Amino acid sequence: MAEHAVGGAPFAAYHQPVRPEWLDYNGHLNDASYSLVLSAAHELVLESLGLSADYRASHRASMFTVETHLRYLAEVSAGQVLTAATTLVEADRKRLRLHSELYADGRLAATGECLYLHVDTVAGRSASLPDDRWARVEAMLGAHAELPRPPHLGLGVGSRP
């Protein structure tokens, strides 16, 4: 095991009951709320890599979301509990790609894939991760290397695995 905790493989720290303000006219989780949940689940992963809000303040750098691909698989209602299982799919010195399965009461409700870019917020351009953060990323890559990759990973909208 690496020196830094990698939060399990897949990373599964997110646990959140559905909030009423996330629902739409139908009483179902709104499209945008899936993205809110995905962001929050991924924020926990970034936190464990030392790349969350504290890092932004201390290093004047941050992970920016470049792309998000959501696949909606089931409706989610009030009272359900949301959890996530996240894989660090790939990374280089400037970029991370995460894939999550989002579950409602244990049933798969959506998948979400995000590409993040490490940005120097002062210079306003992409920058390489510092060595200590890259070491954490590499540790997580190692811990996630053997996880199965879902067949839809990296497919465009409309493509079928």
Which residues would be at the binding site for other proteins (CB under 8 A)? 20-27, 30-33, 35-36, 39, 53, 56, 64-72, 75, 90-92, 95, 97, 113, 115, 154-159
Residue 112 near residue 70, CB atoms below 8 Å: yes
Least distance in Å: CB of 143 to other proteins?
Answer: 19
Least distance in Å: CB of 158 to other proteins?
Answer: 6
Q: How far apart are CA 73 and CA 79, in angstroms?
A: 18
Residues with Cβ < 8 Å from 16, sequence gap 6 or more? Answer: 37, 40, 81, 82, 83
Nearest to 88 by CA among 20, 27, 6, 24: 6
Q: Which is nearer to other proteins, 8 or 77 (CB)?
A: 77
Q: Which is nearer to other proteins, 26 or 58 (CB)?
A: 26
Q: Which is nearer to other proteins, 8 or 54 (CB)?
A: 54
Q: Which is nearer to other proteins, 91 or 140 (CB)?
A: 91
For residue 33, the one-letter residue type is: S
Q: How far apart are CA 107 and CA 126, in angstroms?
A: 37
Least distance in Å: CB of 3 to other proteins?
Answer: 25
Least distance in Å: CB of 57 to other proteins?
Answer: 10
Q: How far apart are CA 16 and CA 18, in angstroms?
A: 6
